[in-house]
């Protein structure tokens, strides 16, 4: 299985959340992990927000940043090219997605093959991907 993890599916690998067990299982079951390059700044922003909201300590933020770096070494990155950005813009307009979600979806479309699954905790993104024929593994109930 080629698993395309969006940010909502990576954060539970780093910060304990209800979806953590599901995300870990999907990560471990995947033969290959892919994600758009946007994953790094979006994950760093989510972790910093968790710190500001006092969901994690400063020490955990430091540890989480190191864990993210380790995770990224296992990810095959989909680069944000001009073509991918244009596709993301079209997807955002057509499906009412936010910019980051549209970039993740455009990356999923670029990487899709028979063994591909988009792993996400974002119901809106997952539903749009599913409507476009992309296999989706939701990390939330």
Q: Measuring CA to CA, how many Å separate 93 from each of 12, 33, 96, 97, 118?
A: 29, 28, 6, 7, 21
> What's the rounded Cα separation, in Å, for the pair 32 and 22?
17
How confident is the model at residue 36, as a pLDDT? 96
How confident is the model at residue 141, as a pLDDT? 56
How confident is the model at residue 140, as a pLDDT? 81
Domain count along the chain:
1
> Which segments of the chain have a pLDDT < 70?
141
pTM of the entire structure? Answer: 0.91
How confident is the model at residue 112, as a pLDDT? 76
Q: Is residue 101 classed exposed, middle or buried when 0-12, 13-18 and 19+ CB atoms within 10 A define those classes?
A: buried
Domain ranges, residue 27: 2-138
CATH number (domain holding residue 8): 3.40.50.1010
């Amino acid at each position: 299985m080629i698993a395309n993890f969006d940010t909502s599916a990576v954060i539970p690998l780093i910060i304990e959340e209800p979806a953590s067990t599901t995300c870990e299982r999907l990560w471990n079951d995947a033969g290959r992990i892919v994600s758009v390059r946007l994953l790094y700044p979006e994950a760093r922003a989510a972790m910093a927000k968790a710190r500001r909201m006092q969901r994690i300590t400063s020490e955990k933020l430091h540890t989480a940043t190191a864990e993210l770096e380790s995770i990224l070494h296992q990810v095959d990155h989909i680069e944000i090219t001009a073509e991918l950005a244009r596709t993301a813009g079209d997807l955002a307009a057509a499906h009412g997605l936010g910019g980051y979600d549209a970039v993740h979806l455009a990356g999923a479309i670029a990487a899709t093959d028979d063994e591909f699954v988009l792993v996400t905790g974002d119901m809106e993104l997952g539903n749009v991907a599913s409507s476009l024929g992309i296999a989706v593994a939701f990390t939330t109930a």
